[in-house]
Structure 1
């Protein structure tokens, strides 16, 4: 009977074909090159059909053989937890909240690499030919707790899960609440090809210095904040969560990048492909989406009063139900904590934008825009709760677009001033309105803030320096400004009033995109730091007091009609991509940052603008009523100061002709990273990124009118 048992079916309705000992099984763990050295010495456990456990270790080539077990299939597991001191594994295993059950197998799999650059499995593993059975496995197939591991990747040679389930249903093997392990069949040699545990993460510089890398990367992350988190189920999950919908925050970080898949969509309506620069990292160093495992973590179990924790509640702030409609996401790895705040979307956002009344900034000095401040206060507790759990000296990188940029500024300064905390903060904002007054800006002078403005984007021009009011006249205009920029402009302009107060002002170092159209029709974008406000603001704001506290409506309207330049995927992201390509090529060629033609076009525009300001000064003198002569000096002084700033701007422009960039201007702290070259190789593998950009041509616009890039038009500025 013993001799013939191996020929019989392995299962009857109730028991194995034979309960006698004397059978064997051999197996080895290999990578996709057929080598098992990466797994040498790993401890394993095997349970036979009677439930008996056999423990052992793989040899140096990842091979082991078990002899003398009871007839029938056996279950192989590699569930021993990591016990070493290597980072980040030891820290992740013992952290106070959400400690991870990292196994020795996981650490080994993270130290292997893909043979293909895209993470696809290769056919024809050299270890396949001597195998009786060949399986493509993942770490999650061989360990018990899998919530912290990436989702299963498609494969051709799957382990036979039905055999594992059959053994469990018949009561064979070890008692277990979940199906864990791979079934090996007796008297056969099995080869298990273990998929590497590698992930992709967007590269971010942690330097204070502005760099083109962060300009582009954080533009993408700011746009991603407009997406949902994408968790299924979104609330009150029971046993597991998934992130199947793209593009969403959860899908990008929790599925695509954790599964070593590149993603380029950060807007559901996006057609132009914009790939972040990704670096390959061991899985444990990815941007983390925390696990959901009610068996391991008590806080994941349902709690009264909706206190259950799950990834959507930990990473995604959505205050729609509580009045401010503020939205943001937060995630981290061992070097960076990333926070991205959403811009204007809903009616609640619009009303908050319109509420320009100033209130005390309680966490520091000065006064802030009340609507933005209330939104910041709504999310402050959420952010601090996350930082209390997962901040361990990382650089906190905060970004936001539009309204999100204003809230991000208040958040960054509030965190910087948090007592008994040492937060090192880096802030990038895109098209952000003014968020606070001059006293706040002075008090926050040590906060590193790179403020990006796209040419004639109207939003950075509000609240205007004269605004500190919730007057009914201009609120409807502001509502229309953000929801329908063109027709809303007139109502916005006619409703503005001036109330004496410390004026609103911008914080941070401005980086300004100036699109220009070259004689051959090519669209170019120059990023520089002008020293004047006429480029940023509409209609010489300092002179509007002379018109019954009204701005020059025609010029405001001209700016508002170009509000398409406020959108991220239509304007800011293409301009950021163009700047990155321009700066890359400038470093490679050691050429100037602007061409001669570009310089001449912009210089002529600045010269024309200066003359317009002088003409405006004379015009106001002529139109000023006799009883207002006492104020003439004040207004002349304001316009003359702006003319001086324009002169400074022309000098800065001139310096661009001779400036030579260094690699650090482009890549920041990653300049000398060993991972930069493979990351660039991956990025340039996409045809969109291989385009030459002698003048940093902006990608071709789509059919959508919102995505048309406007030429440089001085008359739309003053």
Structure 2
């Protein structure tokens, strides 16, 4: 900065020509209520215009005074590192990958709270009434390394950043590679209102038991997996990164939740607001997006070659260029590592879904769907790379929708078999197809898996147990079925012929949304654990009526038209939200989930379905099959008819069961912060709506992770 003529008598190019003492200044750090106790005893440093350093500590009220420094502005910084062992801050500071430069100021700011529940700034602070200067500051204004801190929030009383830049250009203040600190002026008392360093994070239960909270929250996270990461720039070279795109994974975690904003949009076309249930936590306990700071982290520097590390590379997996088009994201906090896997979103996804040939699951036992296995293998190293660096015993929660649910199952079972992760996996899937055979399912019986199925969603009904073939035969048949049905239908049927191997089988404890119409015209929906899969399969079998080995073309087209039953924002998320609301209402009223009229309607449906199975069995009996396959089909019908009767008995038992808070909120049922989180959630008018969606919890003796078998896909 060139010196103007009037400055020449006082300054050389770098230092004051005549250093003069005789001024004073004071400052106070306070929270939004004007209380300085939170910052009492905090170490500070002040650098005057000669570069001389003054070190001290704030008194018990967060106040300090400096007498007789050299005249002129001074620079205030708080760079004392946090020094305590045995807590999560120490873990963050000492971890081998991306250790965080956490200061004592950051820890103190994380213990303060916002005056307003939405985190908006309070414009009038009691401590600022009688003062020379009042600034609204953040931790990042006062410390050296800021990449791990949240973006600055809007503020009216901004600190004089231009003054800091001017002092730096003159060569005053502390020697440093970049502008750091806050400029204070002489003969003035300055009040610094430090913004609380808090974040929002979605509540997730870490218990094995199914709960309505996780049903809803993980439906939102599974939907978020369809979004891009939203980082700009997305590829090197880069000096710093941001996440401006909404909705995106990076924007959700690094911008909105880190900035204490309640995000509600998880799909670019979403109109209806779906807010997660958020908890207010210290910033360091948020779902983390790792910092990008080339000065601090060698792995972020461009000289690392063509692939320096950056947030999108660490948290986001997108294999589009390598052919599988698998996409997923991963993040963590002190109690949870969250992995969400995207479902079918492209043509290559669809071709992979269709490849029903079985291959060995080399990480465990049994055989699995070849297309799903290839997608899982593509992202396995990505997940392990992250876990190797940031797993410290958290509950690993994995979720996925559609294809993503199938990949999530294979990933979960793979991780479960790695020493150190055993029995620490919790899996929720939505509308997932079958991914493996019965041997795999039996071997993975101890994996906790809650499998959510929406009524009339056809995807969970494929691949059928008799599908073990490559896509070469049946994809061309499916593509041409609508233009030339006769020869294409034959090709389609040939492609569906089972070629050896064990039957495909679902894994997990099924939770099924069954819609019903009450006598008064009210629409209701039952979420329950029926113990059989005829109900689930009815959706597919109504759409693809089989005559011998030939699918009914008109019904197949109708199935595709009704495919919205498989969508998250149009189907699964609303049903999950409604279930959460109904379960909350039931607990609050100490009532039962199922009314007498609802029970009657479901009972009639089960009786009708059982009668249909018996009629189909009698029909097959007349043919007197001589081959083993025909005999197995008849036996399967008898077994499934018995399961339907067992489901009816279970329904009758559960009709009188009353829910507990743990059924709704899982491990958060007894949390002292639950009520404040619910108060925040119910502040949104959309969440105060009463709902008629009914739900039936699984029977108490139903073990989590036990496989639900299906034998009659191609028959009923």
How far, CA to CA, are the matches of 2:249 and 2:204 in structure 1?
Answer: 17
Structural RMSD (CA): 2.7
Which residue matches 1:142? Answer: 142
Once the two structures are TM-superposed, the CA of residue 130 in structure 1 deviates from its matched residue by: 1.1
Pair 1:568 & 2:585 matched: no
1:168-197 deviation per Cα after TM superposition (whole angstroms, max 9, x unaligned):
112121221111111101111100000000
CA contact (8 A) 2:37 2:62 kept: yes
User: Does 600-609 or 22-31 show the bigger shift?
Assistant: 600-609
Secondary structure of the structure 2 residue equivalent to 1:151: coil
How far, CA to CA, are the matches of 1:27 and 1:635 in structure 2?
Answer: 83
1:460-501 deviation per Cα after TM superposition (whole angstroms, max 9, x unaligned):
0000000000153422466799xxxxxx99996785323232
CA contact (8 A) 2:593 2:658 kept: yes
Pair 1:605 & 2:613 matched: no
For residues 253-402 of structure 1, the aligned pairs below 5 Å read: 253-402=253-402
How far, CA to CA, are the matches of 2:116 and 2:261 in structure 1?
Answer: 12
Which residue matches 2:5? Answer: none
Secondary structure of the structure 1 residue equivalent to 2:363: coil
Secondary structure of the structure 1 residue equivalent to 2:128: coil
| CA distance 1:9–1:379, shift in 2 (3 Å) | farther
Once the two structures are TM-superposed, the CA of residue 519 in structure 1 deviates from its matched residue by: 3.1
Secondary structure of the structure 2 residue equivalent to 1:537: helix
Once the two structures are TM-superposed, the CA of residue 70 in structure 1 deviates from its matched residue by: 1.4
CA contact (8 A) 1:136 1:156 kept: yes
Secondary structure of the structure 1 residue equivalent to 2:68: strand
For residues 54-93 of structure 1, the aligned pairs below 5 Å read: 54-85=54-85, 87-93=87-93
How far, CA to CA, are the matches of 1:246 and 1:279 in structure 2?
Answer: 21
How far, CA to CA, are the matches of 1:185 and 1:400 in structure 2?
Answer: 56
How far, CA to CA, are the matches of 2:515 and 2:186 in structure 1?
Answer: 70
Which residue matches 1:485? Answer: none
Secondary structure of the structure 1 residue equivalent to 2:24: strand
How far, CA to CA, are the matches of 2:604 and 2:48 in structure 1?
Answer: 84
Which residue matches 1:578? Answer: 578
Which residue matches 1:592? Answer: 592
How far, CA to CA, are the matches of 2:168 and 2:503 in structure 1?
Answer: 72
CA contact (8 A) 2:514 2:525 kept: yes
Residue 642 (structure 1) aligned to one of 633, 640, 643: 640
How far, CA to CA, are the matches of 1:489 and 1:264 in structure 2?
Answer: 44
Once the two structures are TM-superposed, the CA of residue 563 in structure 1 deviates from its matched residue by: 1.9
Once the two structures are TM-superposed, the CA of residue 112 in structure 1 deviates from its matched residue by: 0.5
How far, CA to CA, are the matches of 1:304 and 1:23 in structure 2?
Answer: 50
| CA distance 1:421–1:572, shift in 2 (3 Å) | closer
How far, CA to CA, are the matches of 2:304 and 2:247 in structure 1?
Answer: 32
For residues 107-256 of structure 1, the aligned pairs below 5 Å read: 107-256=107-256
Secondary structure of the structure 2 residue equivalent to 1:238: coil
Which residue matches 1:658? Answer: 656
Secondary structure of the structure 2 residue equivalent to 1:426: strand
The TM-score with structure 2 as length reference comes to 0.91
Once the two structures are TM-superposed, the CA of residue 562 in structure 1 deviates from its matched residue by: 2.9
Once the two structures are TM-superposed, the CA of residue 652 in structure 1 deviates from its matched residue by: 2.1
Which residue matches 1:711? Answer: none
CA contact (8 A) 2:461 2:540 kept: no
CA contact (8 A) 1:78 1:105 kept: yes
How far, CA to CA, are the matches of 2:585 and 2:233 in structure 1?
Answer: 46
1:282-338 deviation per Cα after TM superposition (whole angstroms, max 9, x unaligned):
001010000000111100112455331010000001111111110000000010000
How far, CA to CA, are the matches of 1:175 and 1:464 in structure 2?
Answer: 69
CA contact (8 A) 2:458 2:540 kept: no
Once the two structures are TM-superposed, the CA of residue 520 in structure 1 deviates from its matched residue by: 3.2
CA contact (8 A) 1:581 1:696 kept: no
| CA distance 1:540–1:268, shift in 2 (3 Å) | closer
How far, CA to CA, are the matches of 1:411 and 1:334 in structure 2?
Answer: 22
How far, CA to CA, are the matches of 1:627 and 1:283 in structure 2?
Answer: 67
CA contact (8 A) 1:350 1:478 kept: no
Once the two structures are TM-superposed, the CA of residue 423 in structure 1 deviates from its matched residue by: 6.2
How far, CA to CA, are the matches of 1:565 and 1:9 in structure 2?
Answer: 79
Which residue matches 1:710? Answer: none
Once the two structures are TM-superposed, the CA of residue 533 in structure 1 deviates from its matched residue by: 1.9
Which residue matches 1:505? Answer: 505
Once the two structures are TM-superposed, the CA of residue 559 in structure 1 deviates from its matched residue by: 4.7
Once the two structures are TM-superposed, the CA of residue 653 in structure 1 deviates from its matched residue by: 2.1
Which residue matches 2:34? Answer: 34
CA contact (8 A) 2:493 2:549 kept: no
| CA distance 1:206–1:145, shift in 2 (3 Å) | same
| CA distance 1:193–1:166, shift in 2 (3 Å) | same
CA contact (8 A) 2:594 2:694 kept: no
| CA distance 1:301–1:527, shift in 2 (3 Å) | same
Residue 673 (structure 2) aligned to one of 671, 675, 686: 675
CA contact (8 A) 1:10 1:72 kept: no
| CA distance 1:601–1:64, shift in 2 (3 Å) | same
| CA distance 1:477–1:267, shift in 2 (3 Å) | farther
Once the two structures are TM-superposed, the CA of residue 55 in structure 1 deviates from its matched residue by: 0.8
CA contact (8 A) 1:351 1:479 kept: no
CA contact (8 A) 2:489 2:550 kept: no
1:563-607 deviation per Cα after TM superposition (whole angstroms, max 9, x unaligned):
211000100000000110111111111211112222222221222
How far, CA to CA, are the matches of 1:480 and 1:671 in structure 2?
Answer: 53
CA contact (8 A) 2:46 2:55 kept: yes
CA contact (8 A) 1:393 1:423 kept: no
CA contact (8 A) 1:29 1:192 kept: yes
User: Does 43-52 or 333-342 show the bigger shift?
Assistant: 43-52
| CA distance 1:25–1:563, shift in 2 (3 Å) | same
User: Does 55-64 or 498-507 show the bigger shift?
Assistant: 498-507
1:224-244 deviation per Cα after TM superposition (whole angstroms, max 9, x unaligned):
000000111111142211111
User: Does 423-432 or 205-214 show the bigger shift?
Assistant: 423-432
How far, CA to CA, are the matches of 1:645 and 1:691 in structure 2?
Answer: 36
Secondary structure of the structure 2 residue equivalent to 1:328: strand
1:605-638 deviation per Cα after TM superposition (whole angstroms, max 9, x unaligned):
222222222233334445x4x7858876443322
Once the two structures are TM-superposed, the CA of residue 405 in structure 1 deviates from its matched residue by: 0.2
| Structure 1: stretches of 5+ with no match in the other structure | 1-7, 482-487, 698-716
| CA distance 1:233–1:694, shift in 2 (3 Å) | same
User: Does 280-289 or 609-618 show the bigger shift?
Assistant: 609-618
User: Does 597-606 or 570-579 show the bigger shift?
Assistant: 597-606
| CA distance 1:564–1:15, shift in 2 (3 Å) | same
1:369-406 deviation per Cα after TM superposition (whole angstroms, max 9, x unaligned):
00100111111111111001000010000000000000
| CA distance 1:250–1:477, shift in 2 (3 Å) | farther
Which residue matches 2:403? Answer: 403
| CA distance 1:439–1:172, shift in 2 (3 Å) | same
Secondary structure of the structure 2 residue equivalent to 1:127: helix
| CA distance 1:331–1:347, shift in 2 (3 Å) | same
CA contact (8 A) 1:317 1:382 kept: yes
The TM-score with structure 1 as length reference comes to 0.90
CA contact (8 A) 1:200 1:286 kept: yes
For residues 368-517 of structure 1, the aligned pairs below 5 Å read: 368-419=368-419, 421-422=421-422, 424-476=424-476, 496-517=496-517
CA contact (8 A) 2:434 2:461 kept: yes
Once the two structures are TM-superposed, the CA of residue 445 in structure 1 deviates from its matched residue by: 0.5
How far, CA to CA, are the matches of 1:153 and 1:128 in structure 2?
Answer: 20
How far, CA to CA, are the matches of 2:493 and 2:593 in structure 1?
Answer: 38
